[in-house]
Amino acid sequence: MVGVPSGEQYELVTQSSQPAMEAVHEEPEHESLEDQRLHRRTLRKLDFVLLPFLSLLFLLNSLDKSNIGNAETAGFTHDAGLSAQDLNISLAFFFAFFVALQPLGAALGRRYGMARWVPACMTLWGLSTILHIWVRRRWQLILLRVIIATLEAGFYPTTVSYLSLFYTRYEFAVRLGIFYGQTAVAGALGGVLSWAVFSHFPSRPGAPGLLPPESSNAIESIGWKSWEVLFLIEGCMTMVVAFVGFFWLPHSADTAWFFNASERRWAEQRIRLDRDAAAHASASPTRRRSSPVTEQTTPSHDFNQDDEHDGEAHDRLLSSTDDTHVRHRKLSVVSATSVTADAGLSRHDIVSAVIQRKIWHLLICNILSAIPATAFGVFLPLVMKQLSPALDLTPAQSNLLAAPPFACGAVALFIFTRWSDRSHQRLLPILWSLGLLLIGLTLTVLSPMSNYILRYSSLCILLSGSYIASPLTVAWLTNNTPEPGKRAILLGINGWGNLAGVFSALLFTPADEKTGYVKPFVITLLCVMASFAGFAAFRAMLQRENRSRQTLLASWDEVTREREELMGDAYLDSRSRGLLARIFGDSTVLKWLGADGHRRGDEKLTFLYSL
């Protein structure tokens, strides 16, 4: 926080600033209708102006990653003079660069601000998508995929970090589900769009498994292949939306063009209150019992509002701070810096993120759980093509049949994220979703190729559980990382979970096509089982660490707890330093980072991790 005092200034500043803080956080006896309207209107503008546009960006991002699989069903590599293996090699290169550059992309996005960084990158990768039309050599395909991977690296963590700036902790998972669900929507939309393109622009005769020569009159008359039209349409859409993004996306809530002055103030204040509640969620039992459950989280009464009342979103905000004492009155000062600013990064943010052990545990679990989602984002149309030889599916039909499983994934994601927000839990819904995924994978492995109805149904169940673990992992990270800069880097490291794409490209090879990809399905099943065990162990580890912190806090006096909550520099005895060393791993690193003298966010020993 800007202006936080040090050491000996603590008592003087807290006393002198108390009246100002009381003015900010004074609780009204009754919540006014005008306050509720302002809260609802602010949240509604975020939901209908900012969130849909960010979701559209991610939808186009997902389309540009998966469209090469749709193009392949129309004979892309055949027409370009390439082999089917060249496609897999290019995908492996894509994911290798995409994954390796995730933290760097996230750091650059946070450094220069999402509002300008992401649209610039999107414009360039949209152009690269169009350039696929002129690919005639393997190196050209690999080069274009590497360029797109470099530009897309950091897109997801940067955008998710940006989105988390505007929503409170337990509003976030549902919105993230809508955002991340665009991966599934992209799969469905990509299938429908490909069906529409391939139906109106049939592929030229000669490509294996495509339409007969008499069906290609339309495309022959204009000289365009169907996959060329697909790349052109999707690349142009990306470039147009990216251009709009330069003007649409605000750098912070207090500069948002879609808010009026009172909405800007409240958009900032509610996030500050929510982050304070997260940082101080471990108030002593005595203080929690005596604290009111209606801490002021509504705007002050000098704002003017004129909209209808709906308290659902407001109630969620209240629930996120129910167990927090009104000790915000004792904080030193309210930061004059915007808490929703999309830029800003420090050395402490980077180093503390890199040395945090929890992110590496989550990363392994995330890689293993994400293999189905990344694999089917590209290969499901090809799996559908091999669903049953008796069906004799055309490229258009195989792409259209890929849409319903993706739609199941999107619906299941919304249900699970809504449950997660309402229950204030992240890890338990992840475990249930992985159980659903295991059921789908098991049925897919056991169902015979001849029973295409059962196999298709099992794919729908499989996709229903595929898209939940990754966004809820991100939601857990954002809930438990109050510092925005560190949060961005952690999300970038978590982006290495896209290594699953490399594994899926190596797993689902043309050699397994004739067997219905049974071997890749079995390997994927084993990976998801390992991920399930990893998430269960992570949940148990958090519970143990929370108990250790609570036990330690119970031995502290009130002044020490208050100082640790505010400053993060309370004097630590040997027991406290031992707990801190377990968090950072090494006392030398701890001293170099400064965490032993001034702890921030989840480094503070008063911080308890949510599950």
Q: What is the pLDDT of residue 223?
A: 66
> Who has greater pLDDT, 561 or 102?
102
| Interatomic CA distance for residues 480 and 602, integer angstroms | 7
In this structure, are residues 283 and 324 in contact, taking their beta carbons and an 8 Å threshold? yes
pLDDT at 60 over 60: yes
Q: What is this structure's pTM?
A: 0.70
| Interatomic CA distance for residues 263 and 303, integer angstroms | 9
CA proximity to 179, closest of 154, 156, 151, 149: 156
The HSE-up count of residue 98 (CA atoms within 13 Å, CB side) is 28
pLDDT at 75 over 80: yes
pLDDT at 83 over 60: yes
Percent of the chain clearing pLDDT 90 (strictly above): 18
pLDDT per residue as tens digits for the range 299-311: 544 443 334 334 4
| Interatomic CA distance for residues 542 and 538, integer angstroms | 6
Q: Residue 539: which pLDDT band, with cuts at 50, 70 and 90? A: very high
Q: What is the pLDDT of residue 242?
A: 94
| Interatomic CA distance for residues 152 and 395, integer angstroms | 28
Rounded mean pLDDT, 465-487: 87
Rounded mean pLDDT, 469-479: 89
- Residue 268 structure tokens: 């900032």
Burial class (CB in 10 A: 0-12, 13-18, 19+), 23: exposed
Rounded mean pLDDT, 376-390: 65
The most confident of 57-66, 333-342, 398-407, by mean pLDDT: 57-66
Q: What is the pLDDT of residue 283?
A: 45
CA proximity to 469, closest of 528, 545, 522, 411: 528
Q: Residue 236: which pLDDT band, with cuts at 50, 70 and 90? A: very high
Of the listed ranges 250-264, 284-298, 438-452, 508-522, the one predicted with least confidence: 284-298
**Using alpha carbons only, how large is the chain's radius of gyration in Å?**
26
Please state which of the four CATH numbers 1.10.10.10, 3.30.565.10, 3.30.930.10, 1.20.1250.20 is assigned to the domain occupying 40-253+350-541. 1.20.1250.20
**Domain range summary for the chain, segments of one domain joined by +:** 40-253+350-541, 555-603
CB atoms within 10 A of CB 318: 19
Rounded mean pLDDT, 183-211: 64
In this structure, are residues 183 and 373 in contact, taking their beta carbons and an 8 Å threshold? yes
Which residues have a Cβ under 8 Å from the Cβ of 423 and sit 6 or more positions away? 429
